[in-house]
Amino acid sequence: MMGPWRYWRLKTKLLFLTLFTSALGIALVCAALIFVENQNYREQLNSIISSLDHIEIIQQACIYDQQGNVMASLASLDKRECPPVNRQLDIGFVEEVYRLLMPVTLDNETVGQLFLTSHLEVLYGHIRTFVFLATGIGAVILVALVFLALKLQRIVSEPILTLSQTAERIAQDHDYSIRAPVSGTDELGRLGHAFNEMIGTIQQQNRRIVDSRNSLERTVEARTSELSMANRELEAFSYSVSHDLRQPLRAVEGFGQALEEDCGEQLNETGKDYLRRIRAASVRMAGLIDGLLILSRVSRQPIESQTIDLSQLLQEITDELKDIGDDVPSEVHIQQGIEVVGDSRMLRVAFQNLLANAWKYSAHEEERVIEVSARKKGRWIAIEVTDNGVGFDMRYIDKLFVAFNRLHTPSEFGGTGIGLATVYRVVRRHHGEISATSKVGEGASFVVKLPVLGDGD
């Protein structure tokens, strides 16, 4: 439906449509009536003229004198009597006929009366023709108007229909490259433009989302491959550390021992002392390597969660400590029935470190007392390990769980500085927390909080 009207406003179009169809309807009806009336008039003229010849429409005619006596009468078929005129006569339309009574005047003087009765057939015929024609013409005009209105309404409805079909197709196919055809600059045209612009924006945004998702995927892929490469390297590194770094230490320690055994007599006391120090240093270094390996292992190994009888595990660790032993009388109280969920190897490493620390730092006491207790608090279980050892200065709490930081000199207490860092790593990997409190000379207390459900990574 192209045409100059596509630049009209929608309001104008609707107004035009309504006015145009109604006006056209009225005009057509008027034209039809004028034509019919014109025809009728011609027929009437004809009929008047012919009525003079065809008197049969007059049913009865009577002429009365002044006194009402019938002076003359004419009657068609039914030979009806003239009605007495002095009686009140019904005139006008009576039943199937039209009656007329009029005075007969001569020189302004009434000399008698004329009575006429006429058929109504002609009148009925006219009315029938008129009704028939009007209905017919009206129906034809109505059909024509409906057809026209249908044609014209497309001007308004077509763009809406196209727009809605486009919207449906886009919604169905998710194809945002589809555009609605837009014609004209009316409200619908503007709507179409706005719709297309909106779809364009969505398409652009979709493209941007896809682009950024792709780039994100690429980044994640790259990072993952970097990470797994780093992991592999780390694994190879710690494998190499565990094999290759140890070997020279074994050589240092072994040949030191061999030297002492085979050539001991040739060394003086100072020489033997140096040799002992060399061997002790290599043993310490081996301890450091072991600690680092354990730390790296608890960092990279996957967690295999299971329910663990922690009380029993702690008892085993305590027995091992007692076996290595020292001369300090020791009391270790472990609360029975402590159950946690986590990786048993890692938790063993963690609590081995905590108990070994408690053991080590209480070695200078007259009697060693170590206590392990647990209590549940909501989703958490808190396990507390306390000792009556030397404790530490709370000023340095920040350094406690950092690898290679020590709060005691090697001459006071030996150690690698890796143990608590390992404990911290294990606890963090179990999504737990660790805290410590102490006073110098009054022992230390470590609290490990683990989630009850054990949602380790």
Total interface residues for other proteins by CB under 8 A: 20
Which of 88, 108, 247, 266 is the binder for other proteins (CB under 8 A)?
A: 247
How far apart are the C-alpha atoms of 439 and 352, rounded to whole Å? Answer: 23
Nearest to other proteins of 211, 235 (CB atom):
235
For the CB of residue 200, give the shortest distance to other proteins in the complex, in Å.
58
Burial of 101 (0-12, 13-18, 19+ CB in 10 A): middle
Q: Is 79 in the site for other proteins (CB under 8 A)?
A: no
In angstroms, give the least distance from the CB of 306 to other proteins. 17
Nearest Cα residue to 311 out of 389, 373, 246:
373
CB 320 to other proteins: min, Å: 16
Q: CA-CA distance, 376 to 382, in Å (whole number)?
A: 6
Beta carbon nearer to other proteins, 125 or 248: 248
CB of 356 vs other proteins, minimal distance in Å: 18
Nearer to other proteins, 132 or 237 (CB): 237
Q: CA-to-CA distance for 22 and 332, rounded, in angstroms? A: 108
Q: Which is nearer to other proteins, 293 or 369 (by Cβ)?
A: 293
The residue among 37 and 235 lying less far from other proteins, judged by its C-beta, is 235
Q: Which residues contact 283 (CB under 8 A, 6 or more apart)?
A: 253
Shortest CB 292 distance to other proteins, Å? 12
- Least separation in angstroms between residue 304's CB and other proteins is 12
Smallest gap, in angstroms, from Cβ of residue 251 to other proteins? 4
Binding mask 249-278 toward other proteins (x if CB under 8 A, else -) reads xxx-xxxxxx--------------------
Q: Least separation, in Å, of the C-beta of 172 and other proteins?
A: 56
What's the closest the beta carbon of residue 390 comes to other proteins, in angstroms?
A: 28
Residue 344: CB atoms within 10 Å: 16
> Cβ(447)–Cβ(371) under 8 Å?
no
Using CB under 8 A as the criterion, what x/- string covers residues 194-233 for binding other proteins?
A: ----------------------------------------
Kindly identify the residues of this chain, within the stretch 275-314, that bind other proteins according to CB under 8 A: 282-283, 286, 293
Q: Please name every residue paired with 383 in a beta bridge, in sequence order, or none if there are none.
A: 374, 448
The alpha carbon of 236 is separated from its chain's Cα centroid by a whole number of angstroms, namely 47
Nearer to other proteins, 188 or 289 (CB): 289
Q: Does 243 bind other proteins (CB under 8 A)?
A: yes
CA 349 to chain centre: 47
Between 70 and 252, CB nearer to other proteins: 252
Asked if 29 is part of the footprint of other proteins (rule: CB under 8 A), the reply reads no
Instruction: Please report how close the Cβ of residue 415 comes to other proteins at its closest, in angstroms.
Output: 17
Name which of 215 and 301 has its Cβ closer to other proteins: 301
Rounded-to-integer distance, Cα 85 and Cα 34, Å? 42
Q: Which two tokens stand for residue 306?
A: 């299971």
- Judged by CB, which is closer to other proteins: 249, or 317? 249
With CA atoms as reference, report the closest residue to 157 among 20, 17, 4: 17
Rounded distance, CA 14 to CA 18, Å? 6
* Of 200 and 254, CB closest to other proteins: 254
> In the complex, what is the shortest distance from the CB of residue 277 to other proteins, in angstroms, rounded to a whole number?
15
User: Using the rule CB under 8 A, which residue among 119, 246, 408, 431 binds other proteins?
Assistant: 246
CB nearer to other proteins: pick between 72 and 251: 251
User: Considering only 45-53, 147-155, 248-256, 418-426, which stretch makes contact with other proteins by CB under 8 A?
Assistant: 248-256
Shortest distance in whole angstroms from residue 250 CB to other proteins: 6
Nearer to other proteins, 293 or 452 (CB): 293
Binding residue for other proteins, selected from 147, 239, 396, 404, defined by CB under 8 A: 239
Segment interacting with other proteins (CB under 8 A) among 110-118, 162-170, 238-246, 445-453: 238-246
84 DSSP β-pair partners = none
Residues of this chain that interact with other proteins (CB under 8 A) are 239, 242-244, 246-251, 253-258, 282-283, 286, 293
